A = this chain, B = another copy of it.
Amino acid sequence: MAVYTDVSPEELEAFLATYDIGRLRAFKGIAEGVENSNFLLQTEAGSFILTLYEKRVNPADLPFFIGLMEHLATRGIDCPQPVKNRAGEALGTLAGRPCAIATFLVGTSVRRPSVAHCAALGGALASLHKAGADFHAFHRPNALSVAGWRPLYDTAGERADTVAPGLRTLIGEELSHLEAHWPADLPAGVIHADLFPDNVFFIDDRLSGLIDFYFACNDLLAYDVSICLNAWCFEPDGAYNQTKGRALLAGYQAARPLGADEIAALPTLCRGSALRFLLTRLVDWLNVPPGALVRPHDPLEYLRKLRFHRTVESVGDYGIVETARA
Contact = CB atoms under 8 A, between A and B. Distances in A.
A248 to B, nearest CB: 19
B108 A23 contact: no
A27 B289 contact: no
A10 B291 contact: no
A111 B111 CA distance: 37
A106 interface: yes
Interface stretch (A1-9, A56-64, A224-232): A1-9
Interface stretch (A29-37, A162-170, A276-284): A29-37
Contact of A110 (B9, B29, B109): B9
Contacts of A14: none
A289 B32 CA distance: 24
A108 B30 contact: no
Nearest to A198: B9
* A interface residue count range (under 10 / 10 to 19 / 20 to 34 / 35 or more): 35 or more
Q: How many copies does the complex hold?
A: 2
Nearest to A41: B108
State the main secondary structure of chain A at its contact with B: loop
A87 interface: no
Contacts of A1: 29
Nearest to A32: B28
Contacts of A8: 111-112
A37 to B, nearest CB: 9
Contacts of A25: 106-108, 203
Instruction: Tell which of A1, A25, A28, A290 has the most Cβ of chain B within 10 Å.
Output: A28
Contact of A30 (B40, B47, B104, B109): B40
9 contacts: A10-B110, A13-B108, A23-B203, A25-B203, A26-B104, A26-B106, A28-B32, A29-B32, A42-B106
